[in-house]
Amino acid sequence: MDQEKAAEVISDDVFYMKSLVGKKVRVQTIENKFIEGIVFVIDPIYKTVVLCDDTKIRMFIYISIKSFEELSKEVVDHTFLEKPAPRDIGDWKNIEQRGEKLLKWFKTHYINARKNGETIIIDNHVSMAPPYTEETCYCKNTIILEKVRTIIGKMPEDFE
């Protein structure tokens, strides 16, 4: 795959990028070096690939990639796919109450948030799905996403 094709993989096909996490790949750099490793993450915003092997973690920005080859069709390392267990927030009624509390929390911070069906829309940039936790926020801009997640994480459990 040429450099333009490497850029396409890193920037356009999010589902393909996600499918690479935990798989062994070979990256050829523009200096014609071949580096093999397991994909830890591919960042679609900054177009960066992070590979891990037994001794090193390496980062490649898309312009330094000449070719990108999948060496395994199956996930080699499942630990990259593990997430921390979500907090137990109870039944649907509690989830709805949490959503309402978050709307009030955003309002106290002068953040424009509204509900659209089950989804909370925050300032027309971030969407949050039930069960309304930091992990269920979605935004294309990682900086905004992290700021919103921080605000959500600071909401006291006893906030009314």
Band of residue 20 on the pLDDT scale cut at 50, 70, 90: confident
What CATH number has the domain bearing residue 15?
A: 2.30.30.100
Domain containing 146 equals: 92-153
- Tell me which of 47, 81, 115 is where a domain ends: 81
- Identify the pLDDT of residue 2: 47
Q: Which of 129, 81, 82, 69 is nearest to 102 (CA)?
A: 129
- Identify the pLDDT of residue 70: 87
- Identify the pLDDT of residue 85: 47
**Which tens digits make up the pLDDT trace of 97-139?**
889 999 999 999 899 999 988 889 998 889 888 888 888 888 8
Q: Which of 118, 119, 127 is nearest to 148 (CA)?
A: 127
CB 75 within 8 Å of CB 20? no
Band of residue 34 on the pLDDT scale cut at 50, 70, 90: very high
If one counts the domains in the chain, the total is 2
Residue 159 belongs to a domain: no
